[in-house]
Amino acid sequence: MRKKTFAAAALLAAATLTLSACGNGKDDKSPVSVVSEESGSGKAATVLDQPFDKPDLVLTDTHGKKYDLRKETQGHPTLVYFGYTHCPDICPTTMSNIAVAKKALPKAEQDNLKVVFVTTDPGRDTPAELGKWLKGIDPQFIGLTGNFATIQAGARSLGISVEPTSKDKNGKLVSVHGTQVIAFSPKTNGGYVLYGEQATVDDYTKDLPKLVQGANP
């Protein structure tokens, strides 16, 4: 019963929330806070009762090669995140947290884990730019770029809202993208665990050994 309530809250949050690169709103009534409260109760992870299907994304990797997400990550524990390299705050922190946590895994499990960063700013994030940026975090991380509408649809299928970077009336840049990390099981290939931007390096270090087995954290 309790678990069901959590899952419902998480799904609501996932479906409606438009977190930016740089944080959540302060409104205590927002769905964002529902997830925050669960995290505050000691767990960064939200296990979903109804897992997401892995998005059917065929994009371009950092070597300029075609990358079929479903095919390439089939049977592998997989973490998917949508962000962009010109993001100063949450994107590098989230990817660095995962990178540091990953190093605590045995070598074989590190190699088996697929961490996929999908850019929400394909105009600036060319395969070369993405590759350079990810190399600075973890050379094993996979970076994908391509058509924005395709990426947006893929994100939307995971309940993650992304918008093209735009300019407001003062000519200042406005960026909107969800900051959730979705973990996909190596057993079912379903996206069954969700992390918000509050997840720390300790949270990932604690949970990755479970996630690589497809177990609940």
Partner 1 sequence: MRRRSAIMTTATALAGALALAGCSDSGAKSGSGSGSGSGSRSAAKAELSVSGSYIPQPVSADMAAGFLTITNKGGAKDELTSVSSAAAGQVTMHSTTGGAMREQISFAIPAHGQLVFKSGGNHLMFEKLKRKPKQGQTVTVKLTFATSGPLTVEMPVESATYNPSTGH
Query: Least distance from C-beta 122 to partner 1, angstroms?
Result: 17
User: Are 122 and 115 spatial neighbours (Cβ–Cβ below 8 Å)?
Assistant: no
Pairing of strands 66-68, 45-52: unpaired
**Quick check: helix, strand or coil at residue 3?**
helix
For residue 116, how many other CB atoms are within 10 A of its CB?
22
Say if residue 22 carries a ligand binding annotation: no
Question: With respect to partner 1, which residue has the nearer C-beta, 26 or 107?
Answer: 26
Distance of alpha carbon 186 from alpha carbon 177, whole angstroms: 26
Min separation Cβ 150 and partner 1, Å: 22
- Residue 184 vs 204, nearer CB to partner 1: 204
**Using CB under 8 A as the criterion, which residues of the chain lie in contact with partner 1 when the complex forms?**
17-26, 85-86, 88-90, 92-93, 96-97, 100, 132-133, 136-137, 161, 168, 170, 172-176, 197-198, 200-202
Measured from the CB atom, the residue of 73 and 145 that comes closer to partner 1 is: 145
Minimum CB separation of residue 202 from partner 1 in Å reads: 8
Q: How far apart are CA 41 and CA 51, in angstroms?
A: 22
Rounded to a whole number of angstroms, the distance between the first and last alpha carbons of the chain is: 19
Query: Is position 76 annotated in a ligand binding site?
Result: no
Q: What is the closest distance, in whole angstroms, from the C-beta atom of residue 214 to partner 1 in the complex? A: 25
Choose between 69 and 90: whose C-beta lies nearer to partner 1. Answer: 90
- Parallel, antiparallel or unpaired: strands 142-144 and 114-119: parallel
Query: Binding site, residues?
Result: 87, 91, 177
